[in-house]
């Protein structure tokens, strides 16, 4: 059976996604914290339990 995809494209797509994730991470507060920088707020230990929806939206009753 003939292959239905290009290996090069698969690897290129993988490489691009990995680089994007790395660049995003290297510019993040979590990376700064891991590098020894204090006073940074990271998302890892943060959860907004007061929000009204999983996306963090407030309750309709609190909006004026």
Partner 1 sequence: MSDSAVLQPGLQQPGWQVDRFIVSTALVGLALLGGLIWLETAPFMVALFVIGTLLGMALYHGAFGFTAGWRNLVVKKRGAGMRAQLLLFGLSSLIMVPMLHSGQAGLVGAVAPVGTSLVFGSFIFGLGMQLGGGCGSGTLFTVGAGNIRMVVTLVFFIAGAVLGSIHLPWWLDQPGFDPVPLVNSFGVSGAILVQFVGLGLVAWWVNRIERKAHGTIERDELLWKGQSHGVLRTLLSGRWPFTWAILILAAGNALTLAIGGAPWSITFAFNVWGAKALEVVGVNMSQFEFWTWDYPAMALKDSVLTNIPSVMNFGLLLGAMLAAGLANRFNEASRNRPEGRQFLAAVVGGLLLGYGARLGFGCNIGALFSGIASASLHAWVWFACAFAGSLIGIRLRPWFRLPN
CA separation for the pair 33, 47 (Å, rounded) = 18
| Assigned token pair, 55 | 């996306």
The site string for partner 1 over 18-37 (x = CB under 8 A, - otherwise) reads x--xx-xx--xxxx--x---
Closest to partner 1 by CB, 37 or 41: 41
| Assigned token pair, 8 | 């090069």
CA separation for the pair 60, 44 (Å, rounded) = 27
Q: Which residues lie near partner 1 (CB under 8 A)?
A: 1-5, 7, 10-11, 14, 18, 21-22, 24-25, 28-31, 34, 41-44, 46-49, 51-61, 63
């Amino acid at each position: 059976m003939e292959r239905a995809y290009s290996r090069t494209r698969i690897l290129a797509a993988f490489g691009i996604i990995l680089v994007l994730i790395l660049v995003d991470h290297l510019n993040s507060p979590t990376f700064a914290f891991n590098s020894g920088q204090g006073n940074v707020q990271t998302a890892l230990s943060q959860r907004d339990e007061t929000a009204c929806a999983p996306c963090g939206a407030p309750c309709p009753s609190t909006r004026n």
